[in-house]
Structure 1
Amino acid sequence: MNSWIYLFVAGIFEMGWVLALKFSENFTKLLFAVLTVVFMILSLIFLSFSFKSIPMGTAYACWTAIGAVGVIIFGIFFLGESANLLRLFFIGLVITGIIGLKLTAS
């Protein structure tokens, strides 16, 4: 499998554990607490697979950005978080950064 696909999957699990953490309500809901740990482990496993051909710093930055942007978008659509123009602009900058890192990765 392509390292960039591993990285994308790692980013999805990154997003998953952050959301599960929120819904665990400080680890008081067992299902979400367990999902947090499982998604965290899977995220790190897939991140490590991506290191085969993506520089570590690039992979880490993209992994973090995929998770962060995903959580922000989820928050906007499902949790009523702010979607003001300035916030969307900065999300766009993060996405532009991910694209730039992918294009310049060796």
Structure 2
Amino acid sequence: MSTNWILLIIGGLFETGFAISLGKAQQASGKPFAFWLLTFAVCVTISMYLLFKAMGGDKAIPVGTAYAVWGAIGAFGTVVAGVLLFDEPVTFWRLFFLTSLVLSVVGLQMVSSS
């Protein structure tokens, strides 16, 4: 796995971080609210920067693939975090579509490697 793919994966995890931060900010007020907004700003900055870096250099990931994978990692992580942190429901269909999302990301990575 190239450095660009590692950067993209880490960027996707920071996307999860900024979504979680927004969820926590919705539940907070005062100093905790400011903390979660600051956390959001840091996570979105890092996430976008890593997405940018993954799409450049010698082993650049095509923009369409990079954005789809980055978004899917963030979406998957956000759903898992929602279940663990916000007591969101776990249903058959949520698990089914999460599984199809992961398989699609793996497929994109495989066809983009060649």
State TM-score, norm by structure 1: 0.93
Distance 1:73 1:26, change over 3 A: closer
- Of residues 37, 42, 47, the one that matches 2:51 is 47
- Of residues 73, 92, 97, the one that matches 1:90 is 97
Aligned residues: 106
Does residue 9 in structure 1 map to residue 10 in structure 2?
yes
Within 5 Å, which residues of 2 pair with 1:66-85?
Answer: 66-85=73-92
State TM-score, norm by structure 2: 0.87
Equivalent position of 1:25 in the other structure? 26
* 3-state SS of paired residue (1:24): helix
Residue 51 of structure 1: how far off its partner (Å) = 0.3
Residue 78 of structure 1: how far off its partner (Å) = 2.6
What is the RMSD computed on CA atoms of the aligned residues?
1.6
1:42 is matched by which residue type in structure 2?
Answer: I
Whole-Å separation in 2 of the counterparts to 1:76 and 1:46: 26
Rg larger in structure:
2
Residue 79 of structure 1: how far off its partner (Å) = 1.8
Whole-Å separation in 1 of the counterparts to 2:16 and 2:36: 13
Residue 77 of structure 1: how far off its partner (Å) = 2.2
